[in-house]
Structure 1
C-alpha cells in the first residue's frame, strides 16, 4: 500500500510540475505573440530596422540581463542565509523556479509558496517573511529612484498637470505608507500578521543582511533601468541622459503601484511609458517595442530557465533545514 501511495504521489508531483511549466510557457508565449498594443511581426521588423539583433547589442543586452538576475539571486542568497547557509547555485535554483511558478499569480504570490517548498515546514514562516523583505527592498529602491525621477521630470519640463492626476498619483504613491501607519495605530492584523510582528521579524534579521539586501536591490534597479536606457539610445532617441533616465525611473515607479500578474507587467509599464515618453516626443511604437524587449529579457527568458528547475524539483532532496 505504501509503495502504491508513494508512486501515486510521484505521479501527481510530476503532473503538477508539468502543468506549472506548461502554464508558464503558455503565458510567456501568449504575451510575446498576442500583445494588443504590438503586433509580433511588426515588433521583429522594428528590431531588425534598428539593428537591435547585431552581435554587440545582443551581447550587451544579455550581459545586463544576467547581471540583473545575478544580483536578484545574490539578494535571495543573502536573505536565506538567515535560515541556513545557501550556495549561489541553490539560491539560483530557488529564485528561478519560484519566479516561474509566480508568472501566472497576482503580485507574484506564487513565489512565496514555491520558495517554501525548498525548506522544512518549520522554516516556512521565516521564508515567507524573508521573501517579503526582499520584495519590499526592491520596492523601496524603486520608490527612492522613482520619486527622484518624477520630481526631476516635473520640474525640468515645467508640466502643468491636472489637479486630479496629481492627487491620484500622489495617493497611490503614498498609499503603502498610509496603510502602514493605519495598521500600526489600530493594530490591524491580516492572516495573523500585524505591523508590530513584522517589525519584530525585521529586527530579528541582522543589520548586515538588511543592508546588503537593499544594496543589491538598488543595483538591480539601476541595471534594468539602464538596459531600458541603452535601448532608447539604440533607437536613436535624442534626449539628454538626465531626462531619459528620469523618464525610465518614473515609468517603473508608476507601474509598481498597480498590483498585477507578471504576464501583464509589460502592458502596465507600456501604458505608463507611452504617456511619460510622449512628453519627450518619443514615438509610441518605439516605446512599446522597448518595453516588450525588456520584458522578454528580464521576465520571459528567466521564466523559461526556471522551468528547468521546476521539472527537476525533488522535495526530499531540497527541503532541508
Structure 2
C-alpha cells in the first residue's frame, strides 16, 4: 500500500483532469493520476482508480435512474403545456433498461473479486492479473465506503448546479432541479464525448431538460458554462501547470547529477 499526503493526492487528481480533457469520456484521467506514484505502484494504482471511477458511475446511474422514474411519474414544476405523455412508453422503457443495468453493475461492484478470479483464468494476461490482485482483496465495507464518498461527491456537484440555476433565474424549485440534473448527468455519462467538446452537448441537453421548467435559455447556458468552467476547465489548467512542472524537473534532474 502506498500512503499519499492530501497535497500529493490533490495534485494527482488535478493532473488526471488535465489528461482527461482530450480523451473520450475522460479515460485519460488514469494516466495523469499515476504520475505522482512510484514506478512499481502505478499499474496497481490504475486498478484502484478504476474502482473509484466505477463507483462514481454507479452513483450517477443510481441517482439518474431515480430521476428518470420520478420524471416518468411526474415532477412538480414541469410546464403544464409539455406533452410528456407522448413520450411515456419510451421513458418507461429507458427507465427499465437503466434500472436493470444499474442493479447488475451494483452486484458486480460488490462482488468484484468474482470478476477478478474470472479474469485470472484468461491466458497470457499474467501481468495485468497481478495488478488486479489489489482489487481482489478489497472488502465490501471498503467498496461501500468508496460508493458513499462517490455519492457525496455527486451531491456536491448537484448542489453547485442548483445554486447556479437559482443565481441565473432559471428555477427556484430545488426538488425538480435536483432530479433533472440527475438525468442530465446520466445522459452525459452514457454519451461518448471528449471533455473539451462536451460543452455543446451539455448545453443542448440542459436546454432540452430545463426547458420543461423554464424558458430562460440564457440562464440555462450560463449555469451550464459555469459548472463546466469550475469543475473541468480551471482544474485542467492547474493540472497542466503541474504536469509542465514535472516535465521541467525530469529534464533538469539528469543534468544536475
Q: TM-score w.r.t. structure 2 length?
A: 0.75
- CA, structure 1 residues 117+240, in 2 after alignment: closer, same or farther (shift >3 Å)? closer
Give the deviation of 1:174 after TM superposition: 4.9
Give the deviation of 1:148 after TM superposition: 1.7
1:96 and 2:14 are equivalent in the alignment: yes
CA distance in 2, matches of 1:197, 1:244: 44
Structure 2 match to 1:260: 193
Runs of 4+ more than 3 Å apart:
162-181, 196-203, 206-209, 314-317
Structure 1 match to 2:160: 227
Q: Deviations over 1:243-302 (max 9, x none)?
A: 111111111112111132211232232222222111223433321221111101110111
Map 1:308-319 onto structure 2 (within 5 A): 308-313=241-246, 314=249
SS at match of 1:243: helix
- CA, structure 1 residues 278+139, in 2 after alignment: closer, same or farther (shift >3 Å)? same
Q: What CA RMSD, in Å, does the superposition of the two structures yield over aligned residues?
A: 3.4
CA distance in 2, matches of 1:255, 1:267: 11
CA distance in 2, matches of 1:271, 1:166: 22
Give the deviation of 1:122 after TM superposition: 2.8
Structure 2 match to 1:152: 70
CA distance in 1, matches of 2:34, 2:171: 47
Structure 2 match to 1:118: 36
Structure 1 match to 2:204: 271
SS at match of 1:205: coil
Q: Any unmatched runs of 5+ in structure 1?
A: 1-82
- CA, structure 1 residues 88+117, in 2 after alignment: closer, same or farther (shift >3 Å)? same
- Work out whether residues 118 and 315 of structure 1, in 8 Å CA contact, stay in contact via their aligned partners in 2: no
Aligned length: 230
Give the deviation of 1:237 after TM superposition: 3.2
Match of 2:181 among 245, 248, 261: 248
- CA, structure 1 residues 222+290, in 2 after alignment: closer, same or farther (shift >3 Å)? same
SS at match of 1:312: helix
Q: Deviations over 1:214-241 (max 9, x none)?
A: 2221111111111110011112234532
1:215 and 2:148 are equivalent in the alignment: yes
Structure 1 match to 2:58: 140
Structure 2 match to 1:163: 89
- Work out whether residues 141 and 221 of structure 1, in 8 Å CA contact, stay in contact via their aligned partners in 2: yes
Q: Deviations over 1:148-182 (max 9, x none)?
A: 2222222124931153465467546755777898x
